[in-house]
């Protein structure tokens, strides 16, 4: 069911806002490399899951934000656990690729995502992959013992020509590693109006300590008290 959205920032407006207009494009671009954004939902107390998946925190508008950002992304990068848990399938946008990050090599190449040719793997040199995966799937191998994410993101344009916007969709451990590698240009975060307690992962879970500064570029709210924020990196991330 559609729930009306209102803009709070950059200028408060009581007029209903259309999601497609609010998320019509990334917050910026680079001439020499793709722009990298994150799209996630989290509770007020910071958890990104309820019972292991994000669905319990989401809403129709949150799903709409994800769908809209996916529609403008050339490549989506996501962890293998999230692909399994959230049931990723064939992308709706023709030509869109989905890069699945795995250090273990534990993926099912017979799923629709991979059999369609849309899915590719991002792994390390040490990751053991079965012969069918090596034969049938595109694989980016960067890093001796674990995935070198800076190297992998630098390699994506070679595999996916003309990529200008990469969207990252978690999970939280992958988010933390990408943040530590200083790759995010923008963060698109839905705050779900709930607390969930427990020990669920927060937006960035694990990884090394770091400090990155962002500016609030846009904030929307809806009648169910979901908050939709867009954050732009204050200083440009270091080039991969």
pLDDT at 37: 98
Residues 18-28 have pLDDT tens digits of 999 999 999 99
Cα gap 47→59, rounded to integer Å: 15
Q: pLDDT tier at 61 (50, 70, 90 boundaries)?
A: very high
Q: Please give the span between the terminal C-alpha atoms of the chain, in angstroms, as a whole number.
A: 41
The superfamily CATH assigns to domain 34-74+164-234 is Dihydrofolate Reductase, subunit A (3.40.430.10)
Task: Look over the chain and give the mean of its residue pLDDT values, rounded to a whole number.
Answer: 94
The pLDDT tens digits for 30-39 are 999 999 999 9
Q: How far apart are CA 217 and CA 235, in angstroms?
A: 14
- Nearest Cα to 121, choosing from 97, 104, 137, 142? 137
Average pLDDT over residues 212-232: 97
Q: What is the mean pLDDT of residues 148-169?
A: 97
Q: 84-98, pLDDT tens digit by residue?
A: 988 999 999 999 999
pLDDT at residue 48 is higher than 70: yes
d(CA 213, CA 9): 18
Report, as an integer, the average pLDDT of 55-71.
Answer: 96
Evaluate whether 232 touches 215 at the Cβ level (below 8 Å): yes
Average pLDDT for 200-207:
90
98-144 residue pLDDT tens: 999 999 999 999 999 999 999 999 999 999 998 889 899 999 999 99
Dump pLDDT digits (tens) for 188-199: 999 999 999 988
pLDDT of res. 131:
87
**Is 79 exposed, middle or buried (CB count within 10 Å of its CB: 0-12, 13-18, 19+)?**
buried
Q: How confident is the model at residue 51 (pLDDT cuts 50, 70, 90)?
A: confident
The reported pLDDT for the residue numbered 1 is 64
Share of the chain above pLDDT 70, in %: 100
Burial of 199 (0-12, 13-18, 19+ CB in 10 A): exposed
pLDDT at 239 over 90: no
Q: State the Cα–Cα distance between residues 104 and 57, nearest whole angstrom.
A: 28
**CA distances in angstroms from 124 to 149, 176, 220, 232, listed in the order given:** 10, 18, 39, 30
Locate the domains of the chain by residue range. Answer: 34-74+164-234, 86-162
26: helix, strand or coil: coil
pTM, full prediction? 0.94
pLDDT at position 166 is 98
The mean pLDDT value for 168-180 works out to 95
């Amino acid at each position: 069911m559609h729930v009306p959205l209102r803009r709070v920032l950059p200028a408060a407006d009581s007029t209903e806002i259309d999601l497609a207009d609010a998320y019509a494009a990334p917050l910026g671009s680079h001439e020499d490399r793709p722009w990298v954004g994150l799209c996630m939902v989290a509770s007020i107390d910071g958890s990104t899951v309820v019972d292991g998946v994000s669905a319990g925190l989401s809403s129709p508008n949150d799903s709409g934000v994800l769908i809209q950002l996916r529609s403008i992304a050339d490549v989506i990068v996501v962890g293998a656990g999230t692909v399994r848990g959230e049931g990723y399938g064939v992308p709706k946008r023709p030509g869109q690729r989905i890069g699945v990050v795995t250090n273990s090599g534990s993926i099912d190449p017979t799923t629709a995502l991979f059999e369609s040719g849309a899915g590719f793997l991002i792994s390390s040199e040490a990751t053991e992959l079965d012969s069918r995966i090596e034969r049938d799937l595109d694989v980016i191998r960067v890093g001796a013992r674990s995935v070198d994410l800076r190297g992998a993101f630098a390699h994506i344009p070679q595999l996916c020509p003309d990529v200008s916007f990469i969207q990252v969709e978690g999970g939280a451990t992958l988010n933390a590693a990408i943040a530590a590698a200083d790759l995010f240009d923008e963060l698109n975060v839905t705050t779900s109006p709930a607390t969930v307690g427990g020990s669920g992962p927060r937006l960035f879970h694990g990884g090394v300590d770091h400090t990155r500064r962002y500016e609030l570029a846009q904030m929307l709210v809806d009648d169910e008290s979901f908050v939709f924020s867009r954050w732009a990196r204050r200083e440009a991330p270091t080039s991969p």
